[in-house]
Structure formats: structure tokens, C-alpha cells
Structure 1
Amino acid sequence: MQISIAWWNTSLSPLGEQRATDEQKKIALDVVRYLTCDLNVDCLALGEVTLQDLNFFLNTLNLTNYAAYDGTVKEGRLQFDTGALYRTDSLHLVNNKTLIPSKNGHSFKLANRLDFIVTDLNIYLHLFISHWPSRLACDKNNPDRHFLGMKLREAVQAVNEESGLTAYTVLLGDYNDEPFDSSLAEHLLAVRDRRLVRKRPELLYNPFWRHLGEPQPYVKDCDTQSCGGSCFHKGGTETQWRTFDQIIFSSPFLGGYGIHLNEKFSHILRLESFLPHVLKTTEIFDHFPVISVIETEG
């Protein structure tokens, strides 16, 4: 049995403000159609959406085997813009909560926590969906980014304490940080060393370390369009591509028993038909989807 999990920052409605034209909504619909109707992903987490966007996808695509999780919570001046579409035949949502830590009187959008039961296995699967502040609002060296990493680390540990063991936990989203940045590598402890994760189960494994930079080696006279990450920054100077979109796994997915990460399916979905919209300076889109697969033995 396989369970596929995907994330896409749609760019449709940042901070709950719908900005997409009808044509842009159709483009986004094609991406969601591919993920749900063609790939049949079990859980598709989405960023920069409203409840109206989620219902638009469900109803227009007639996704009768999916349900929507609306994470677009407004808490004071904070506006979450995340949600998910999940298959009701494979995942049963038993609990959810919105995580809003505070520091010095300032609140932060940390994550939406979703607790699923994998239907055929009767195993709990915990998801944390995040959309952290942009680099414009909070630069890469801002201590607030370190705070977010530490608080998400604490949230993962809280799941383990509730479970009495190291739980099956998946973290995904647009962190506006790359795998090597301190918030993720040092404070969340999402590392690239599988051997070390098996030895120290408090660590998390981030397969998107291997998706930094160019996916193919340079070959003379090759006309293939270069896509060196998940997010295209049209005004970038030292690089226009960043791997901000990631899916991260707790240590039980690396051996032991039960369900495992099949890392060959962890990648950035560089959709050829969607690429021109990402590169076009007048479009709103700047992110590719990312996907991973977990599966049972045998």
C-alpha cells in the first residue's frame, strides 16, 4: 500500500486575499487536476488559498472521494492561508489544531496540525502544514525564523510524548527557507544523513536536501530549460531558484516496521505545461508542487 503526500503553494490568495483572474484559476485547476485525478495523491496540502479556493477545486473537479480541510484560520491580526484535500477512502481525519506560538507579545503562524488514521493500517499519521513568512517580511538571519524552527521542533516532540513513542510525523510546506538554513537544519533538526537519523531518532529526515540546484548536469548545446529548485524568484540576484518547498519525515519512516519512505518518489514536480506560467513575469505563479510517497512493506 502506498500513501502519497504533496504540497503546492498555489499563489492564488496570499493572506486570504483572492487575487487570481478566472484564467489563473483555470491554470491552478489544471495543476490540482493532475495531482488529484491523474496522480491520485492521498493528501494534497495547499498554500495561499481560501475556503472558496478549496471548494472551487472540489466542486469543479467533482472530487467526490476527497474532503477539504480548511486551515484558513484568522486569529487576531494573523491570517492563515493553508488547507488540504485528502482522500477519504485512505485517510480519516480524527483531530486538527492550529499552532500559534508567541514571543515578546508577537504571535506567529507556525503550522496546521492534522492527525489522520491510515484507514487500511489503523496507524496514526501526523501532518504539520506550514507557510512561513517571506524573506521580504522576515529575512534569512532574523531570529524569528530560528524561533519558528524551535517551536515546530517542540510541536513534533509533543506528538511523540502524546504517543509514547516516536510517531509517524510528516512536515510539509513553504518554509521560505532552504534545507541548509538554520531554522530547518539546526533548530528543527531536519537533516540529510539517514544513518544518523536511524541512530538518533529525535532527528528528522529531509529528502529535499538532494533537490538543491540543477536537476540535470550541464551538456553543451542542450536547450532544456533550467529549473534549479521549487520556487522561482523573478528578481533574484545570486540565484533565481530556491528550494523553499519541502516534505520532511520523522525517523520511523526510515526502517523498523510499519510504513516507510520510498525516497525515489520524493521530488519537485517540474510540470512542463506549467513552467511558462512560473517564468512569466506578469503571472502570479512562482512555485512548483512537491511530492513524496510512503508505503508498507511487501
Structure 2
Amino acid sequence: MTSIGVDIFWWNANNYYHFDVSNSGDRWPKDLADYMEKCRRVDLALNSFFSSKRKPMILAICEITRKAAEDLRQRLFPDYEIISLDVMLSRPSLQIAILFKRDAHIRISEQNPIVVSDMPKSTRPMAVLDVEYGAKCVRMVFCHWQARFEDEAKSSREAMAGFLNKYTYDYLRDSPDRSILIMGDLNEDPFEEALNKLHAHRYRSRAGEKHYTDKDTRRVHLYNCTWRLLGEKAAYSKDVSSIPNATAGTYYWKLKKRWHSFDQIIVSHGLISKKSPHLDEEATHIVDLPEFLPEKLPATFKRERGGYVGLSDHLPIYTNIFF
């Protein structure tokens, strides 16, 4: 039987507001020219990726308004459908948007977003998509957890992680034909406490382990393939500009001059077994093409020195699942 691939692209597009004359917040475009230049840079970067690969079947983008996502679809993805968690039309906000293309063999359906109760108002819901082929189903959960500079953010992220692990346990226990993929900007590195509460491990073997207390605690062990993406791609040099693709993560914190691997891919054991569906871990990578790095490092888009600089302070990640 021929394998069918479902490729998934995740990106924090960083303050991707549309232009609206009635919104003059600090991060909103000051005029139409600002918005059009941001769009031009986004299109240039995405097209550079598509030139080496086909357009992914699923693109999940966070920090984007519904209108900006709809504009993006109209420009680059006219035959794709769109889901946006920016649902308050009178008060647009930066949320997750998913663009996906239907396939004759693959069924894709939106599920209820995951909303964790008793959390700060700034907590964003997690988008959920079911991707099915025959009896097999991969539930994809796309996340954008609280930023590190917000009050109580650490405890909120840990609570989100604990809730998501129990959600995953409940989903997987009902059928052996189910798998789960968690993808997004978690605002935590793979080795931090929230990922421990998610029970997302660096070792494949740990994801397959079971314990007699799992049922009582509604716990499932997962595999975090982001561990394999940690570290620099080239030898250290004081002159960053001299190193091609001098990336060491997905997010560059300019204030602290520090790389982080906040954007992660975590899967249940079924996706790393020998059976279908399975994650193509060899294809999983950080997208660090020059068009995503106009300043050599990930940098926020802004108007500066009479022109424009940056695109996003995050780099995308990409993976593929084969049925």
C-alpha cells in the first residue's frame, strides 16, 4: 500500500495584526504600508520554503488575527480552508490560525478547542484538529502558552501541561487506532518543569513505558523529538554574521541574547512505533532559511531607521506523518 504523507508546518509569526484604522495599539500596524511590508516579508519567507518542498497540507500559525490569516490565505493558499481562534470580531486578538488543504484520502476535521478553566484571562485556547485515514486518527493539538514575562506565567504553563497530559490520556485510552501530536510555542525549553508535567521525554523508550499508577493518575508518557533539535548547527564564532544558519533553537530572546527551543513537537508512542501512522523524524527540522532571518537572527518586524527590519523572533518547525 502506498504511504500518504501529511506534512505540518508551525510558526509563531509574531504580532501579525492586520491593519485597522480603529486600532492604534503599540503592536498594531501604524498604517497600511506597515502591514503590507509585513505581508511581503511573510510571503517571501513562506515561498522560499515552498520552493524546496510542496506547500504543507497543514499550516498552524500563532500570533495572527483572523483577518491577517484570511488575507494570507487569499494571497498564497486560495484552495485551503481556514480555522481561526480569533473569534471576537469586535475585539480582534492574536490567536492560532490553521490553514489546511483537503485530500481525497485524508479526512480533516476541526474539534472543540481545549480551554483550561481557572486560568488568567490572557490564557489562549489550544486548537484541535483530527486527521484520519481509514480507521486511524491522529489528533493534532496546537498550542501557544503564556509568555515568560507575564505574572504567574510559569505556574500557568505547568497547569496547562498537566491538563493536556490528562486530556491526552483520556483521548488515547478509548481506541488503539488513536495517536496524538502536540505542536506549538510552549514558552518552555524541553528540559523545563512544564514539560515534566506533560510527561514529554527525550527518550523514545520512555514514551512506551506504562506504570500501574497511570490509570489512577490519568497519566500517559510522551516523546519530545525537540530534544534532537537542541544545540548549535555550526562552531561558535563571535561574528554571528560569518556563520551560515547560525541557529541554536527556534526563538531568539534579543534582550538576553539567548536562544531557546520553545517551539516543540511532542507525540504519543504510537507515532514512533513501526506501525502506521508514524512520525518521519528524519524530516522534522527547524526552518532556518535566510528569508526567515533577514537580520541573521530571528527578530521582531518593525519600522526602523527610515525602513523596516525583522520578520519574527521565532523560526518555524516542520514535520511529516505517514499513514
Structures share a fold, TM > 0.5? yes
Counterpart pick for 1:189 among 199, 217, 225: 199
Measured in 2, the distance between the counterparts of 1:240 and 1:105 equals 27
TM-aligned CA distance change 1:279 to 1:220, over 3 Å: closer
Contact 2:9 2:59 in 1 (8 A): yes
For the aligned residue pairs, the C-alpha RMSD in angstroms reads 3.1
Residue of structure 1 aligned with 2:161, choices 146, 149, 156: 149
Q: Is 1:165 equivalent to 2:191 in the alignment?
A: no
Matched residue of 1:21: which SS?
helix
Post-superposition shift, 1:80?
Answer: 5.9
What is the DSSP-based 3-state SS (H/G/I as helix, E as strand, rest coil) of the residue aligned with 1:46?
Answer: strand
Mapping of residues 78-227 of structure 1, within 5 Å: 81-89=95-103, 91-103=106-118, 108-118=123-133, 121-138=134-151, 142-161=154-173, 163-165=174-176, 167-184=178-195, 186-200=196-210, 202-218=220-236, 223-225=242-244, 226-227=246-247
| Matched residue type, 1:63 | P
8 Å CA contact retained: 1:11, 1:285:
yes
- Unaligned residue ranges in structure 1 (runs of 5+): none
Distance 1:84-1:13 versus aligned 2 partners, 3 A rule: same
Alpha-carbon contact 2:284-2:320 (below 8 Å) kept: yes
CA shift in 2, pair 1:107/1:135, >3 Å:
closer
Query: C-alpha separation between the residues in 2 aligned to 1:176 and 1:101?
Result: 17
CA distance in 1, matches of 2:284, 2:268: 15
Q: Which moved more, 1:92-101 or 1:189-198?
A: 92-101
Looking at structure 1, the residues matched to 232 and 85 of structure 2 have their Cα atoms a distance apart, in angstroms, of 33
Other-structure match for 2:293: 275
- Residue of 25, 30, 44 corresponding to 2:39: 25
Q: 1:290 is matched with which residue?
A: 317
Q: Please tell me whether residue 3 in structure 1 is matched to residue 6 in structure 2.
A: yes
Verify the 8 A CA contact 1:116 1:125 in the aligned structure 2: yes
Amino acid at match of 1:264: E
Q: Residue 104 of structure 1: CA displacement? A: 7.1
Hey, what's the Cα distance between the residues in 2 that align with 1:158 and 1:14? 36
**Structure 1 stretch displaced more, 240-249 or 6-15:** 6-15
Q: Provide the rounded CA distance (Å) in 2 between the counterparts of 1:55 and 1:110.
A: 20
Distance 2:239 2:36 in 1: 38
Q: How many residues align?
A: 288
- Equivalent residue letter for 1:289: P
Contact 1:95 1:116 in 2 (8 A): no
How far the C-alpha of 1:56 sits from its partner, in A, is 1.3
User: With structure 1 as the length reference, what TM-score do the two structures score?
Assistant: 0.84
Q: Retained in 2: the 8 A contact 1:232–1:242? A: yes
Separation of aligned partners in 1, 2:83 and 2:299: 31
Cα distance in 1 for partners of 2:88, 2:6 equals 30
Rounded Cα–Cα distance in structure 2 between residues aligned with 1:145 and 1:207: 20
Task: Supply the distance in 1 between the matched residues of 2:50 and 2:238 (Cα, whole angstroms).
Answer: 37
Same amino acid, percent of matched pairs: 24
Are the counterparts in 1 of residues 137 and 177 from structure 2 also a CA contact under 8 Å? no
Counterpart residue number, 1:266:
284
SS of corresponding position for 2:189: coil
Corresponding residue of 1:252: 270
Alpha-carbon contact 1:213-1:241 (below 8 Å) kept: no
Partner of 2:63: 48
- Structure 2: runs of 5 or more not aligned: 212-219, 303-309
Output the amino acid matched with 1:86.
F
SS of 2:255's partner is coil
CA distance in 2, matches of 1:213, 1:175: 18
| Secondary structure at 2:14 match in 1 | coil
Q: Which has the larger radius of gyration?
A: 2
CA distance in 2: counterparts of 1:91 and 1:52, whole angstroms: 27
**Given the alignment of the two structures, is residue 72 of structure 1 paired with residue 86 of structure 2, yes or no?**
yes
Supply the distance in 2 between the matched residues of 1:29 and 1:2 (Cα, whole angstroms).
24
Distance 2:94 2:49 in 1: 23
Residue 155 of structure 1 deviates from its aligned partner by 1.8
* TM-score, scaled to structure 2: 0.78
Q: Which moved more, 1:193-202 or 1:260-269?
A: 193-202
Instruction: Measure, in 1, the Cα distance between the counterparts of 2:120 and 2:62.
Output: 26
Instruction: Summarize the Cα distance change of 1:138–1:269 in structure 2 as closer, same or farther, 3 Å threshold.
Output: farther
CA contact under 8 A between 1:42 and 1:91: conserved in structure 2?
no
Q: Identify the range of structure 1 (92-101 vs 213-222) with the bigger mean alpha-carbon deviation.
A: 213-222
- CA 1:245–1:230 in structure 2 vs 1: closer, same or farther (change >3 Å)? same
